[in-house]
Every structure is written in structure tokens, then in C-alpha cells.
Structure 1
Amino acid sequence: MSEQDTTLFGKIIRREIPADIVFENDELIAFRDIAPSAPVHVLFVPKTPIASLDAATPDHAALLGRLMIAAAEYARSEGFAEDGYRVVMNCGRDAGQTVFQVHLHLLAGAPLGGFGARHAH
């Protein structure tokens, strides 16, 4: 078993610990964060162990794309797309990554301040 397989997320994927799972397919799983930073805070995780975005390779491109699309589809299905939502991926300790398995944070359900709030992109 690789180091990533022993992470908290690996244990959730294998159902060794409980989680509030909101989406799952053969490649991905999504569940509510236990310490939410917004009214809606869902983590989207590939089942393939990849420690961080920095550890990803071109071979992971399609999987990472499907991870983003799954988050967007979930946001649309839950009615967040019209008002907006944020997708965040932390990479490394200084960026706030605490579980070393690639994952996206989907944040929604209220106006989100912080980074990007005053920037028009």
C-alpha cells in the first residue's frame, strides 16, 4: 500500500472510516468536509493516489479534468452555478494542504470573500 493509500481519504475510499459521500463513480469520490469553510464544502478526490498537484504527470491530465468536471456538475445539480462557487486545490504544506492526496475543495452557499473577491478575471 502506498503512502497516499494510507491517508484519511484512502480510508474513506475503502470505507474504513465514515464520510458523508455526495458523489462517487469508478474514478472519483466526493464527500462533505468535516470542518467546512463555507455553507457548502465538498471535497472531490480521485481514487488514484496522487500526493499533490506537483506530483501529477501528463498521464493524470484526463483524470484531473474529470475531477474538475465532476465538481462543476455537482455545483450545477445543487443549484450553485447561478450564484457562483469556488474550486480550490492546495499544493503543499505552505499552501494549506493537510492531506497528501490530490483533492478539490468546492465552496458555495454564500458570498465568498478572500482571494479573488476584488479581482475581475
Structure 2
Amino acid sequence: MSNDSIFKKIIEKKIPANIIYEDEIVTAFKDIKPKAPIHILVIPNILIASSNDINKKNKDILGHMFYVAVNIAKQKKINKEGYRIIVNCNKNAGQEINYLHMHLLGGKKLNAL
């Protein structure tokens, strides 16, 4: 699979994004079409197309993604009132970009699923 998605371009700084966190494993930035006052995407710095592509070699990346999302929630002070972390898998679940990404949503009361 080609790794020329918009997310790869954000990681490589080829297109601008409001990056709020990055390290050697993940990059986190504000969603350009937010569904809540705080809507941040956390993506791995290597291509994993969807959660179906998590394997023995890359599984630790998911734990780091959660760790980063929780720390951002604490930074944004939404950890007490609550937040949602979502990972969509494939088109019927709403995954629009074939690159694994985690949505961190908060800052208001979210509707029940």
C-alpha cells in the first residue's frame, strides 16, 4: 500500500497542520473538521492502514497512541468531565482515510452511542 496519504504529508511537514504533540512514534494534531470543542487526531508515524493491520510487530504503537491521547486529555483538562477515544475501521465504520488514526473528543457533553 502506498504511503502518500494526507497524514503522511502532515508527518513529513509537507502540508501544514496544527500539531500539538509529536515524538518518534506518533503525531497528534487538531482535526480540521472538529465534531467537538476538542477534537484531536493521534496517528502513528508509520503506515498502519486500519486496525485490521495491527500485528505482533506494530501492536505496541496502539498502547503509545492511547498513552498520548490520555496525556493530551489531561493537558486540555477534559479528563475529569470525560472524553471519548474512537478508532474507526474501514468505510462502514466511518474510516475515511486508509491510515489508522485515533480521535480524541471532548470539551462538551457527548451524545451516547
TM over 0.5: yes
Counterpart position of 2:97: 99
The CA deviation at 1:55 is 1.2
TM-score, normalised to structure 2, is: 0.96
Counterpart position of 1:58: 56
Counterpart position of 1:118: none
Query: Any stretches of 5+ residues in structure 1 without a counterpart?
Result: 116-121
SS in 2 for 1:97: coil
TM-score, normalised to structure 1, is: 0.90
1:1-121 equivalent positions in 2, closer than 5 A? 2-3=1-2, 5-115=3-113
The CA deviation at 1:58 is 2.1
The CA deviation at 1:61 is 1.6
SS in 1 for 2:57: helix
Q: Give the root-mean-square deviation of aligned CA atoms.
A: 0.9
Whole-angstrom distance in 1 between the partners of 2:88 and 2:112 = 15
Q: Cα deviations across residues 52-102 of structure 1 (Å, max 9, x unaligned)?
A: 001111222211100011000110121110000000000001100011111
- The aligned length equals 113
Kindly provide the amino acid, as one letter, of the partner of residue 58 in structure 1: K
Kindly provide the amino acid, as one letter, of the partner of residue 55 in structure 1: D
Q: Name which one, 1 or 2, has greater alpha-carbon Rg.
A: 1
SS in 2 for 1:26: coil
SS in 2 for 1:58: coil
Q: Cα deviations across residues 28-66 of structure 1 (Å, max 9, x unaligned)?
A: 000000000111100000001100001111222211100
Kindly provide the amino acid, as one letter, of the partner of residue 59 in structure 2: A
Query: Any stretches of 5+ residues in structure 2 without a counterpart?
Result: none
